[in-house]
A and B are shown apart, each in its own frame.
Chain A
Amino acid sequence: MSMDLSISRHWRRKYSIYRLQAARCKACGRVHYPPRPACPYCGSRDLELVELPKHGKLVSFTKVYAVPEGARAQSPVYVGLVDLGATKVVAELTDITDQTQPKEGMEVEAVLRRTRVDGEAGLIYYALKFRPAIGVPDV
């Protein structure tokens, strides 16, 4: 896994990873996550950085048993496709209990959580995950 756990790359992407920063195309209005310098739909280079809402609805989900090294302790990992209105994101789900089993349409909100440990570099990576909404996104 070390091939894609790059510290500097993670640093460069901190705003999209920790703040859900996206780019909105001023020409056609589409929102792209992660942000892009040009709109892949209309070609415009006039984009502005926007923060995505921290609250959304679950479109679909899965429970992944084949998880990468560094996250094995948390296996299995729930992963959801979350509709944030402006765009959709794929993200880990957390705080799933017997009472809060994920289902289509479930309201979810973002929280900052630990995602992986890089054994070689000794770094702990964090990311936004989504939990069943209790009304207070924690980011």
Chain B
Amino acid sequence: MAVVGYGHSRFGVRSDVNMAELAWEAIKEALETSGLEPKDIEHVVVANAGGWSSEPLPAVVVAEYAGLTGKPLHRVEAACASGSAAVASAYEAVASGMADIAIAVGIEKMNESPTPTVVEFIGRAGNYFWEFENFGLTFPGYYALYATAYMARYGATEEDLCQVAVKNHYYASMNPKAQFQRKIDLETCMKSRYIAWPVKLYDSSPITDGAAAVVLASEEVAKKLTDSPVWIHSIGAASGTANLSKRDDYSGLKAAQLAALAAYKRAGLEPENTARYFDAAEVHDCFTIAEVMAYEDLGFVRRGEGYKLVREGQTYKGGLIPVNLSGGLKAKGHPIGATGVSMIAELTKQLLHKVEPGRQADIRKGLVIAHNVGGTGHYAYVTILGLEKPKAR
């Protein structure tokens, strides 16, 4: 199966459009890049975490506005990994033979609610965690528990974490779709206020409106549609406990590790020292610590070595593996339901040499990887894309 079209709205505060119009920006581009019209699409999946926006049934509103009414349609939710869940659901529709052409749309309008409501809504995510009710722990607080444990165990510093933000802002400065198209220096991050120690404002992804879409097609159809399909080599998915206190380890996300293992196994790749396989990666940096843990959970390096990649600049272009050349969630923005789809759209463009100069990866191996986490490791999806058709298994 292949990605044959991709679309991406501008991310940011998008009070200029309503939800359907915002989704259409991405859908329109996805249809154009695939050379298809709405009537050609056979299956529609919409990712939207919702709760803060004005549309309780976003899928039907988005589909009607885009001229996709009549097709099989549903909405999916896997917190911040909702977008990947939509891609996986569209993948299943095509893989099962239910459809030859499916579209996955991710959309979120978070700025329709005031910030404290959004923060509380996210904090209450997942069993509303129990902890939140009594102890006031919000989403950054959960990642802060991981950051504290990671730093204590491996000797990473707040500067190391801030270097992730510096890198991602650097690449976002070249991405016209990014929310924050500006560079920052280390001091800006280090001096920003604490949200939940050691997590600071500049360690955190913003509240974002945005949409992304990808069109998936069966091998037969993909070959007719395009000379340059981007093949889906594998999707690995997993989940973690709702309540954080039920976990064994706080220096990595078990769900992401399991999803990575599943994705590597299906793609026929060894799970260790995996940076060697890929030209680029998009990982889930909702907070900077999350990007560092992603390096390890994906097996780029061994446990406890992720922060050294940051310290040595190994995840810039020219390093061991370039990560988040889009600017990541941190600086491109993190419209919850759109993020996972945005990663697939971005990596498809990377493989096809379609991104802006300066942030285009050197494509030599022809494989890229996406890592999308929902909640604090409550859901995880790892997706591998390639220019070569995967070998038949």
Contact = CB atoms under 8 A, between A and B. Distances in A.
A60 B149 contact: yes
B196 A63 contact: yes
A62 B141 contact: yes
Nearest to A33: B245
A10 to B, nearest CB: 9
Contacts of B198: 62
14 contacts: A4-B124, A33-B245, A59-B250, A60-B145, A62-B147, A63-B197, A66-B119, A68-B136, A79-B135, A79-B137, A88-B246, A92-B136, A115-B136, A116-B136
B131 interface: yes
Most buried by A among B131, B136, B149: B136
Contacts of A63: 144, 194, 196-197
A130 B137 CA distance: 15
A128 to B, nearest CB: 9
Interface in A71-92: 71, 76-77, 79, 81, 87-92
Interface of B: 119-120, 124, 128, 130-138, 140-141, 144-149, 152-153, 193-199, 244-246, 250
Nearest to B241: A40
Contacts of A77: 135-136
A60 B135 contact: no
B245 A62 contact: no
Interface of A: 1, 4, 17, 33-34, 59-68, 71, 76-77, 79, 81, 87-92, 103-104, 115-116, 127
Given A4-B133, A88-B246, A90-B131, A66 B149 contact: no
Contacts of B245: 33, 81, 87-90
Contacts of B246: 87-88
Given A61-B145, A79-B137, A79-B141, A66 B196 contact: yes
A116 to B, nearest CB: 8
B296 to A, nearest CB: 17
Contact of B244 (A33, A81, A91): A81
Contacts of B140: 64, 66
B149 A59 contact: yes
Contact of B250 (A17, A60, A66): A60
Most buried by B among A63, A67, A104: A63
A79 B136 contact: yes
B193 A65 contact: yes
Contacts of A91: 134-135
A81 B120 contact: no
Contacts of B131: 90
Nearest to B140: A66
A81 B249 CA distance: 12
A92 B197 contact: no
